[in-house]
Structure 1
Amino acid sequence: MKTTLEELQAFAAIVDRGSATAAAAELGQTVSGISRALGRLEEKLATTLLNRTTRRMELTEEGQLFLARARTILASVEDAEEQLALRRQQPAGRLRVNAATPFMLHVIVPLVAKFRERYPLIELELNTDELFIDLLEQRTDVAIRIGALKDSSLHARFLGTSGLRLLASPDYLARHGAPTTAADLDNHILLGFSQPDSLNHWPISDANGNPKYVKPAIAVSSGETLRQLALEGCGILCLSDFMTRQDIAAGRLVQVLAAQTLPVRQTVNAVYYRNTQLAARIACFLDFVAEHSGW
């Protein structure tokens, strides 16, 4: 049968306003359009809902029964629309966020308390992975990715950039000395990534003028593990500022080869699938991170 909301609205408006003309004025439609909608409805129901004369319209018994149901349906739709409007004003629902462990620990986690204070109806689910994930498979609403994006099936929202620095602990430098040239790094204990290997290209020029590729003496898969190794005085590493700015400020890590370091910055993007409408809870979360992350 497939009765439409337009037909229900036309029927209810005619009854409430007493004529197709008044109903058309209320709904912003033409009189002929309202009359056709009522005619289609009666044809689908195979019954007469309104007895029409030149002077007035009167509900049939079937019309009275159907009007009560029609009003219930229209009220439900209006209520649903109102609830969605309220959610846009006060975002709510579960929000599944995925990020690499370092970004989660150093950027997201410090913002959670303030975010929940502002948006108490959003239920956060925070998950970590060191490598890129399939958003659908992992049931993720939005993922934070650092570096170049290659997946064209994703929407991306730029959140900011984070610089790269070569760092070591004061204890390590006291024991091994500080390098003064890029070539000196070959005589030091270098900390790097087991995967992806591209992260072992450091922002300092080699003899050929290219970003220096290092072979780590200690290779790990997690940036947070690297940070902890550096804090323990295990060697020199290259990490993003979002992970180390507090360590630098506190003197726990010291920048090495600062003058020779190239001005390389990693892009930080939030990604979600192209066929996903950006829900209010996602939008407000990304706005909050961009506003408070202190790039």
Structure 2
Amino acid sequence: MRINSDDMAVFVAVIDSGTLSAAATQLGQTTSGVSRALSRLEEKLATSLLTRTTRRMVLTEEGKLFLEKARAVLIAMDEAEESIQLRRQKLAGRLRIDAASPFMLHCIVPHVAQFRAMYPDITLELTSNDQIIDLLEHRTDIAIRMGPLQDSTLRARALRASPRHLLASPEYLQRYGTPANVEDLAQHQLLGFSQYDAGNVWPLRHNGGEHLAISPSLIASSGETLRQLALYGQGIACLADFMTREDIAAGRLKHILTHAYNGDDQQIHAVYYRNTQLTQRISCFLAFLQEAL
């Protein structure tokens, strides 16, 4: 027999609430009904998910594995239902979005007009912080974050992965020459981040490993500032594809050391707290942005 989502929801509720009776209250069921649902689930899976004593319940190894999968299934079902509801309902209200200035300028601002035309009753409030912010403290609904995620209390949706390019202006290369290998970078002006250490670890293979930690000769807090410095011939920068694609196509910036790139693309996520009053606005914006990107 196949398991069903109702039994999975009962199982997750029991774990989250800690007791059968608390789960029953949460779900609006009887304690005996919750107990039967758990037994039915274990029977269908042919394994024990919980070890029950008079004082507490402990997850078995199989229970731990199933809990993780069950949560993912239930979240996916919620999101699928929300996506259908988005087509039927008129969305309204304020949506506060924060992103580092390069992403805001190159990936969000160009699509704002289309989003506002599609959802005229949603009021966007856009802010740019180049450092990681506390969403609650800054009253932010969605934040765009680059690189590995650290805060496990937030929900996250992967938006895309962006290659990083080593770039310099034609003027800089004419003045200082083009490095032929990674070791040559020691003789060049390198542009780096002042408060973002991961941005100063470049995705370059060399004799010492798969990544190169640089010591910048000129630093800035914003990737957009580094882009402008590179355009003005102040040095070599390692910048995301989404913010430099047009510069490369127009010849304002030139690729350097492409043969040494290790393929370590920068992951981009949207992070947010799950809030039932905001869920649909968040879902519609993230779906829109993901398609636009």
1:291 alignment partner in structure 2: 291
* In 2, Cα distance between equivalents of 1:290 and 1:276: 21
Which residue pairs with 1:117 in the alignment? 117
1:270-285 alignment to 2 at 5 Å?
A: 270-274=270-274, 279-285=279-285
Q: Does 1:220 align with 2:211?
A: no
User: 1:191-213, CA deviations, whole angstroms, 9 ceiling, x for partnerless residues?
Assistant: 00111222111111232223111
Q: Quick check: 1:88–1:280 contact (8 Å CA) kept in 2?
A: no
Q: Tell me which residue corresponds to 1:229.
A: 229
SS across alignment from 1:242: helix
Distance 1:276 1:155 in 2: 13
Aligned to 1:91: 91
Partner of 2:246 in structure 1?
A: 246
Deviations 1:96-129 (A, max 9, x none): 0011111101100001011111111110000111
Structure 1 residues 86 and 190: alpha-carbon distance in aligned structure 2, compared to 1, 3 A threshold: closer
Partner of 2:60 in structure 1?
none
Establish whether residue 258 from structure 1 lines up as the match of residue 258 from structure 2: yes
Q: Structure 1 residue 86: deviation in Å?
A: 8.7
Q: 1:30 corresponds to which residue? A: none
Give the residue type in structure 1 aligned to 2:141: D
Match of 1:104 in 2: 104
CA distance in 1 between counterparts of 2:275 and 2:108 reads: 25
Q: Indicate the RMSD between aligned Cα atoms, in angstroms.
A: 1.6
Return the alpha-carbon distance in structure 2 between the equivalents of residues 161 and 183 of structure 1. 27
TM-score, reference length from structure 1: 0.68
Aligned partner of 1:171 in structure 2 is 171
> 1:247 deviation in Å?
0.7
SS in 2 for 1:205: coil
User: Counterpart of 2:269 in structure 1: which amino acid?
Assistant: N
Give the structure with higher Rg (CA): 1
Identity within the alignment, %: 57
TM-score (ref. length: structure 2)? 0.69
CA distance in 1, matches of 2:103, 2:111: 12
2:129 matched to which residue of 1? 129
| Offset at residue 280 of structure 1 (A) | 1.6
> What is aligned with 2:53?
none
Residue matched to 1:157: 157
Determine helix, strand or coil for the equivalent of 2:107: helix
Answer whether contact 2:206 2:260 (CA < 8 A) is retained.
Answer: no
Unaligned runs of 5+ in 2: 1-84
Contact (CA 8 Å) 1:153, 1:274: kept in 2 or not? no
1:62-77 maps to which residues of 2 (within 5 A)? none
CA contact 1:162–1:267 (8 Å) conserved in 2: yes
* SS of residue in 2 equivalent to 1:125: strand
C-alpha separation between the residues in 2 aligned to 1:86 and 1:238? 39
Q: Name stretches of at least 5 consecutive residues in structure 1 with no aligned partner.
A: 1-84
Distance in 1, matches of 2:164 and 2:271, equals 22
Q: How far has the Cα of 1:259 moved from its partner? A: 1.2
What number of residue pairs does the alignment pair up?
A: 209
**Distance (whole Å) between structure 2 residues aligned to residue 214 and residue 276 of structure 1:** 44
Q: How far apart are 1:278 and its partner, in Å?
A: 5.4
Residue 143 (structure 1) aligns with: 143
For 1:259, what is the secondary structure of its paired residue? helix
Amino acid at match of 2:232: E
For 2:88 and 2:126, locate their aligned partners in 1 and report how far apart those are by CA, in whole Å: 22
Which shifted more, 100-109 or 199-208? 199-208
